[in-house]
Homo-oligomer: A and B are copies of this chain.
Amino acid sequence: MDTLRGTAILAHGGAPTHVINATLAGLFDQTRDCPEITALYGARNGIRGVVHEDFLDLSKQDPALIAKIGRTPSSALGSSRGHVSDEDCERILGVFQAHQVRYFFYNGGNGSMHTAHRMAGLAREKNYELRVIGLPKTIDNDLAETDHCPGYGSAARFVACAFRDIGADNRSLPGPIEVVEVMGRDAGWLVAASALARREADDAPHLIYCPERRLPRGQLLADVDAVYRKLGRVVIAVCEGQLDENGEPFGADLADPHSFGYRMTSNLGHAVAEFLNKNLNVRTRSAKPRVLGRSSAAFISETDREEAYECGRAAVRAASEGETEKMVTLVRQPGSPYRSSTGLAPLEKVAAVTKLLPTEWIHPAGNNLTQQFIDYAKPLVAPIEPHPRLQELFVERRVVS
């Protein structure tokens, strides 16, 4: 394999996560060990920054600052979303040529992997030597070929802790039925994570619905009624994309048409709460942490952060060794305790593919997850401490019999 001297570019695609900066830090550290990578540029605001030649010189940044940034959520470089045209790709290639860019690292979801794949194809076609490595990033955990995605573990940790805490609040002051809306349109990976901090049989959430299955309105009412009769309280996990038996979002508003071309609700949890209020004549309430679930610094999973960092290093190593048109993957090692390593998968197998939650991991009752899912996801969120409860040392009654 020939040594290929040149500049490297890192761009971020799609919504930020808790650990996309950790991948940047890993990439930064590894390029410092690769003399053939003469500079590392970061595209500001995603692929738009490449198109518009808007770069920060990452290689000149203070390493201590990069290490610190690597422990904070959101994208320090900025990101972008939206369609990348053929003309954009041509312009990007022009920018690459002008800056002697030979390494292109694109950190994003399946749409970004598709763009990376197109860029690799265009460079090949034009006989411009370019190594393209994709980095997996999505809180939705829906990328193919990888056991899981950097970003998922921390977002799942947020969800698991949110249900532990909202559940404790609801147990303290049982009142309204609590509907909590979790992010996720098509894939239930995140809403399923609401199950991860439960320990006692009556811990929240009491009902979890995954969008892979439609939720008949009658089933929802019967489920809620059964839990309410048993416990006198109900905490429900639903995701933004949950549909009823007719494919309708429980009366939720659809997001404004300036959106990204897909149908998206803007208040599903609220709509479900209203639906329950009207049909069961019970007080209901809803919460919608929304983007807080991918940005709240307090919930970075150490496992997730370390894996994201290692993905950054692995991408540079792979490119340096001559690999191209690959995405870095996470490979779960057999046995216990949990360990992972990195691997590589062809970009074409990842581009624009969505990996749903396996339907056999959804409990047959359609309102819970199986142990298989718990075993899969628990190591990714890192340990979560349950809230202790008081000892049940009751005082004997003297007045009431």
Which residues of A line the B interface, CB within 8 A? 12, 14-16, 41-42, 45-46, 52-58, 60-62, 65, 68-69, 72-81, 91, 94-95, 98-99, 161-162, 164-166, 168-175, 178, 253, 256, 258-259, 266-267, 270, 273-274, 277, 282-292, 294-299, 387-395, 397-400
Known: A165-B295, A388-B65. Is A173-B80 also a contact (CB below 8 A)?
Answer: yes
Instruction: Give chain B residues whose Cβ lies under 8 Å from the Cβ of A62.
Output: 391
User: Is there contact, CB below 8 Å, between A287 and B277?
Assistant: no
Residue in chain B with minimal CB distance to A97:
B399
Instruction: Give chain B residues whose Cβ lies under 8 Å from the Cβ of A170.
Output: 291
User: Is there contact, CB below 8 Å, between A398 and B98?
Assistant: yes
Question: How far is it, in angstroms, between the C-alpha of A373 and the C-alpha of B248 when the chains are bound?
Answer: 46
Known: A287-B290, A390-B76. Is A296-B52 also a contact (CB below 8 A)?
Answer: no
What are 30 of the A-B contact pairs (CB < 8 Å)?
Answer: A53-B395, A55-B394, A56-B392, A62-B391, A65-B391, A68-B388, A72-B387, A73-B165, A73-B387, A74-B165, A74-B168, A74-B387, A76-B172, A76-B388, A76-B389, A77-B172, A81-B173, A95-B399, A162-B296, A165-B295, A165-B297, A169-B295, A253-B274, A256-B283, A259-B283, A266-B286, A267-B286, A285-B290, A285-B291, A287-B291
A contacts with B: majority SS = loop
Question: How far is it, in angstroms, between the C-alpha of A72 and the C-alpha of B53 when the chains are bound?
Answer: 49
Minimal beta-carbon separation of A373 from chain B (angstroms)? 23
Instruction: Give chain B residues whose Cβ lies under 8 Å from the Cβ of A258.
Output: 282-283
Residue in chain B with minimal CB distance to A259:
B283
Question: How far is it, in angstroms, between the C-alpha of A294 and the C-alpha of B170 when the chains are bound?
Answer: 11
Which of these, B164, B165, B284, B297, contacts A387 with CB under 8 Å?
B297
Instruction: Give chain B residues whose Cβ lies under 8 Å from the Cβ of A394.
Output: 54-57
Minimal beta-carbon separation of A194 from chain B (angstroms)? 13
Instruction: Give chain B residues whose Cβ lies under 8 Å from the Cβ of A169.
Output: 15-16, 73-74, 291, 294-295
Instruction: Give chain B residues whose Cβ lies under 8 Å from the Cβ of A389.
Output: 76
User: Is there contact, CB below 8 Å, between A288 and B291?
Assistant: no
User: Is there contact, CB below 8 Å, between A165 and B292?
Assistant: yes
Which of these, B15, B57, B60, B285, contacts A266 with CB under 8 Å?
B285
Instruction: Give chain B residues whose Cβ lies under 8 Å from the Cβ of A98.
Output: 398-399
Interface centre among A57, A62, A286, A292 (most CB of B within 10 A): A292
User: Is there contact, CB below 8 Å, between A399 and B15?
Assistant: no
Instruction: Give chain B residues whose Cβ lies under 8 Å from the Cβ of A287.
Output: 288-292
Instruction: Give chain B residues whose Cβ lies under 8 Å from the Cβ of A75.
Output: 172-173
Instruction: Give chain B residues whose Cβ lies under 8 Å from the Cβ of A69.
Output: 388, 390
Minimal beta-carbon separation of A219 from chain B (angstroms)? 23
Question: How far is it, in angstroms, between the C-alpha of A399 and the C-alpha of B339 when the chains are bound?
Answer: 45
Minimal beta-carbon separation of A60 from chain B (angstroms)? 5
